[in-house]
Structure 1
């Protein structure tokens, strides 16, 4: 039994370690791998098959479950079982297993990602999650987004809106421009303009409003025009990402393949055989799952010019070089990041030096500067925030000392007037002494 005990214990420890590895955020491979997909019914797998296929084709491991499944759990033995959650169950008021709003919010607070889709009649669960992520869904009963100008012919009530007002960010929507309008049928949303963590990914056209399709609109609705947000995104301070869509149909095969007409004031309409939904949904999901826009800094170094070793302390007026490598994750590997707006601050209560870092176009950034004539405990700071990218917050403390008594120059030019006045006084005293002693 003793001989069998050690191998058995080793197997148990390896199994526990493996469980802890699943769902752990790794700086080496930040892209999510295991995804839990919660559905209203399994028919969504068929109606949204193109979207799910785009995920499996990129190597994701999808686990489909109904939202009321009694075995639902995001954690086991304190470790997360999934890296991300796709919530396509907008009508369930009660979730199964150990899942509830607090558990999903804790999942996000732990650095994991969520794709959330709503529709008309969305449940309180969906509304509460969206609200905690900085997005408020339209609360009026039976209200959906309506547009009598920019709409699709698929619906006579004009509740399928053709929206083209996309966020101008290659990090979020990819380098290729989405030409065709995106079809949307669902709930309008609003975000707090002062919330810097939430961005509007897809905004409604100016002719859009939120109302019940069967109701007569007697006055201008509160939610209308560009005040209505159709898709929003949150990037939390822990780098967790949440994509909130007011429409579940936006991800459907029907909308992916539908033709659409783009209307431009003062010009003839442009017809597209295929909507921009597939490109939009795929690219936005790539960003949400950290396939794009995730940065890291490596090889952060500082030293005196013409030296190699990093200094433990610097002296005022020293010439110092600071450098680092910045890389971006492209979904499969780390590639050099290209930018010309990365800055370094040499900081003591406030920046004494602020300089742009020069890039060699291969992800290496560097600069040289002279330490100011102020001593104290300074910081090398790189505080980089750009739309769609994870933040870089680098800080390294370094003491700066004054000159030692034997490091000052023996004679300084600014003191020559004082030197001359001293010697002239001595010379005058000698002349005065000679005249006083020997003059009759």
Structure 2
């Protein structure tokens, strides 16, 4: 009887199309849930992902067969954790595995609520976001709450303090407030990788609605309701303290913010979660740089070495992913450094509006090993870090000018000294 061999390479070839340099959008998503009923209670959010071409796989968070990778290759491009109360993941998945998944360049959506376990809090903390330490605390706002017949504790917040970034939240402004019920978190101001996307109002605070209020640890606009993190490897994370934020009920519900005369027939939740998920999964705000070139002015070939004071031209092409294709990226703040220990030349690149950025400059009067460096960071966009090394040599001995006009006095002094010595010698030898 012939033996059957399992080929791991064949498995990898049969997997759905993954993201790549040519297609950076995530495609394969693993959804971890506490209860499979979330598939129906949050179906509008999941359908919006599927309509955009995502392949979703739902698993219970404690499923013993969960694995993010097989044979050294990751099976998924993104991870969505909608299981705030899970104490321990199943299979080979744990907190370290989730963080390794992000460190490998993959993306994460993490939603918690008042039942958040230490495991979920630990993942958020290691990502630079700290939930309120009080396990019973929720965000309360007695001024900017959503008017509701069933919520007398004002834990249903109508939030409209959004980050001002078209690349993160889309070009179309979110008019209606976002409904939020859950726990707040804080972001260290010195953490440049984490950003508050949706903040609480100045009148909000974090505390237990059933306990006597003493001194809440989080108050006012310092409370973050939804935050994003973009790691140095450009992996992206969305962290929020409200699982209800994604529910069909909140997406379809009308909203009336206390003290406002405007009552919206539909909350801003659907637009908000759709647009921010596009950013998290790299449908928007992803840059790539190609064709970094340099050459002498008037030439096209790239030299192996420059000489001090040479005139050169530098160019690079930058494109932005639109979700379906690459389009030229247009900005006026892209710079190049001619760098050796420190930048000797810093030039802002001009663009032709078709993705090509270029400039020209003179090589400094210093020889050594230099680098062309582009370090580009802009809010909401993936960072670019490119460099190309090139040596710079001094003039050779036969490349200097033979007679320099500024040195004519020294030439005259030398020749006059020789002439005087010759005359002195004649006079000394032949004078009686």
Question: Of 120, 127, 137, which residue of structure 1 is paired with 2:121?
Answer: 127
- Rounded to whole Å, the distance in 2 between the matches of 1:167 and 1:358 is 29
Cα displacement string for residues 412-440 of structure 1 (whole angstroms, at most 9, x for unaligned residues):
2322332343455567778989999999x
Contact 1:135 / 1:189 at 8 angstroms: preserved in 2?
yes
2:45 matches 1:51: yes
Question: Of 235, 242, 247, which residue of structure 2 is paired with 1:247?
Answer: 242
Unaligned runs of 5+ in 2: none
Cα displacement string for residues 304-361 of structure 1 (whole angstroms, at most 9, x for unaligned residues):
1111110110000011111010011111111111111000000111110000011111
Q: CA deviation at 1:300?
A: 0.8
Contact 1:25 / 1:111 at 8 angstroms: preserved in 2?
no
Give the match's secondary structure for 1:296: strand
Change (3 A) 1:429 1:99: closer
Query: Equivalent residue for 1:207?
Result: 203
Structure 1 length as normaliser, TM-score?
0.91
Summarize the alignment of residues 353-364 of structure 1 with structure 2, pairs less than 5 Å apart: 353-364=345-356
Stretch deviating more after TM superposition (255-264 or 191-200): 255-264
Contact 1:385 / 1:391 at 8 angstroms: preserved in 2?
yes
Change (3 A) 1:153 1:261: closer
Q: How many residue pairs end up in the alignment?
A: 430
Contact 2:28 / 2:76 at 8 angstroms: preserved in 1?
yes
Question: Of 353, 368, 386, which residue of structure 1 is paired with 2:360?
Answer: 368
Summarize the alignment of residues 163-202 of structure 1 with structure 2, pairs less than 5 Å apart: 163-202=159-198
Contact 2:160 / 2:176 at 8 angstroms: preserved in 1?
yes
Contact 1:23 / 1:83 at 8 angstroms: preserved in 2?
no
Query: Equivalent residue for 1:223?
Result: 218
- Rounded to whole Å, the distance in 1 between the matches of 2:8 and 2:121 is 41
Summarize the alignment of residues 68-217 of structure 1 with structure 2, pairs less than 5 Å apart: 68-154=62-148, 155-217=151-213
Query: Equivalent residue for 1:410?
Result: 402
Contact 1:22 / 1:83 at 8 angstroms: preserved in 2?
no
Contact 1:191 / 1:229 at 8 angstroms: preserved in 2?
yes
Structure 2 length as normaliser, TM-score?
0.92
Contact 1:23 / 1:82 at 8 angstroms: preserved in 2?
no
Cα displacement string for residues 238-262 of structure 1 (whole angstroms, at most 9, x for unaligned residues):
2211100111111112212222245
- Rounded to whole Å, the distance in 1 between the matches of 2:209 and 2:293 is 61
Contact 1:258 / 1:273 at 8 angstroms: preserved in 2?
yes
Question: Of 291, 312, 317, which residue of structure 2 is paired with 1:325?
Answer: 317
Q: CA deviation at 1:50?
A: 1.4
- Rounded to whole Å, the distance in 1 between the matches of 2:100 and 2:430 is 100
